[in-house]
């Protein structure tokens, strides 16, 4: 048999061999203890601005000062996986070693606070299969309001494909699952259920819930399986994460109520034509998954963030005549997430 036909046959054979699929599951060994450190760091500043009064450009007269600032959040925990099954911890003990949040405005200085108010405490998460949710208790007893709605998933399980994948396979991450990955395991559905039980919060949800749902319903991410490699002797599977989303929130009800209080008066007519907040977030990151120990190895994500507020209104004053105003303010920033 000639060499060329042999090579052609080998190539055809290789082409029809199915690619090897990997299964990425959350299944740490019982009793495994792991320390994790999380950080979220951001910077922001004023972008474009436009301010019109009765059609005249008054942007130069509008002084917002130095609107730049920095944001930082840190969290260090020790997780003990007591019992795990079906891709979730059934019994998990978490030591909250330290946490903090710092908000630093250029003109106002820094404001610091605890992130969860749980430093030095151990929280026990126990899965209740009947209720389909976790029971949260302090290991040493006592009560703490911070337990309500406290995030469980600090292993980025919400980013896993849920099926066997080959290199190049892609899947979409729903908004609620993306929120868990970026905000310390926060379960939006659980928080909404807690809010509905409180009269004041329930009223706000009824008023603004649909608009918020439309806004965050657009915030999705796409994951791509890159493959496996070794890092410092650890076999890890890499998942690439891409976020390219935007959404708009209609704030007319909120702004109308605020302006009515500020500009209230007999015979004063206020027509709020527009009050939109547009949010854009774009970036890339990666999740490294320990392929042998079956838990998250590390995570990083860098994004560009844009906020734009557009307001247009007209005022009818029997004594001062009719007036109109338009405002457009843009805040630009960067946000970076890291876990190791």
CA distance 126 to 147: 13
Q: What is the mean pLDDT of the chain?
A: 86
The CA–CA distances, whole Å, from 243 to 169, 180, 340 equal 17, 14, 21
314, pLDDT greater than 50: yes
Of residues 3 and 299, the one with the higher pLDDT is 299
13, pLDDT greater than 50: no
Q: Which token pair is 161?
A: 């494909």
251-256-259-265 Cα dihedral, nearest 10 degrees: 180
The confidence score (pLDDT) of residue 293 equals: 97
CA distance 239 to 236: 10
CA distance 221 to 275: 27
201, pLDDT greater than 60: no
The confidence score (pLDDT) of residue 120 equals: 95
The confidence score (pLDDT) of residue 70 equals: 94
Write down the domain spans for the chain: 25-339
The stretch 302-321 carries a mean pLDDT of 89
The stretch 164-175 carries a mean pLDDT of 96
Count of residues in the chain: 340
The confidence score (pLDDT) of residue 105 equals: 83
The confidence score (pLDDT) of residue 269 equals: 77
Q: Which token pair is 338?
A: 């890291």
Of residues 268 and 305, the one with the higher pLDDT is 305
29, pLDDT greater than 90: yes
CA distance 247 to 217: 8
CA distance 67 to 108: 10
Eight-class DSSP state of 165: B
CA distance 145 to 136: 11
14, pLDDT greater than 50: no
86, pLDDT greater than 90: yes
The confidence score (pLDDT) of residue 259 equals: 73
Q: Which token pair is 110?
A: 């820094």
Q: Which of 222, 218, 217, 219 is nearest to 173 (CA)?
A: 222
Per-residue pLDDT tens over the stretch 35-69: 999 999 999 999 999 999 999 999 888 776 677 89
Per-residue pLDDT tens over the stretch 204-241: 556 556 666 666 677 889 999 999 999 999 999 999 99
The stretch 257-276 carries a mean pLDDT of 73
Residue 110 pLDDT class (50, 70, 90 cuts): confident
Return the ∠ at Cα 66 (arms to 61 and 67), rounded to 5°. Answer: 100
């Amino acid at each position: 048999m000639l060499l060329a036909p042999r090579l052609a046959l080998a190539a055809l054979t290789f082409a029809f061999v199915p690619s090897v699929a990997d299964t990425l599951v959350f299944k740490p060994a019982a009793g495994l203890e792991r320390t994790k450190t999380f950080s979220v760091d951001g910077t922001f500043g004023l972008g474009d601005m436009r301010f019109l009064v009765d059609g005249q450009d008054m942007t130069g007269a509008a002084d917002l000062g130095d609107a730049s600032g920095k944001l930082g959040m840190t969290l260090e925990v020790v997780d003990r996986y007591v019992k795990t099954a079906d891709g979730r911890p059934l019994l998990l003990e978490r030591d909250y070693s330290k946490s903090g949040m710092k908000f630093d405005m250029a003109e106002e200085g820094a404001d610091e606070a605890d992130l969860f108010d749980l430093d030095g405490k151990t929280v026990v998460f126990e899965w209740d299969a009947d209720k389909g949710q976790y029971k949260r208790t302090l290991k040493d007893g006592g009560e703490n309001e911070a337990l309500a709605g406290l995030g469980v998933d600090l292993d980025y399980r919400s980013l896993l494909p849920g099926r066997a994948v080959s290199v190049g396979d892609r899947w979409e991450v729903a908004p609620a699952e993306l929120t868990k990955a970026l905000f310390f395991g926060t379960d939006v559905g659980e928080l909404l259920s807690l809010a509905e039980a409180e009269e004041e919060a329930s009223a706000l949800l009824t008023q603004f819930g649909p608009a918020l749902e439309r806004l965050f319903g657009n915030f999705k991410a796409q994951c791509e399986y890159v493959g496996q490699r070794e890092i410092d002797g650890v076999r890890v599977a890499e998942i690439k994460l891409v976020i390219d989303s935007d959404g708009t929130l209609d704030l007319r009800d909120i702004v109308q109520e605020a302006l009515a209080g500020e500009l209230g008066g007999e015979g004063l007519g206020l027509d709020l034509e527009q009050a939109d907040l547009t949010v854009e977030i774009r970036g890339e990151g990666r999740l490294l998954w320990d392929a042998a120990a079956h838990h998250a190895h590390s995570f990083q994500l860098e994004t560009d963030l844009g906020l734009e507020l557009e307001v247009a209104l007209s005022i009818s004053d029997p004594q001062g005549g009719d007036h109109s105003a338009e405002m457009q303010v843009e805040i630009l920033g960067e946000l970076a997430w890291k876990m190791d």
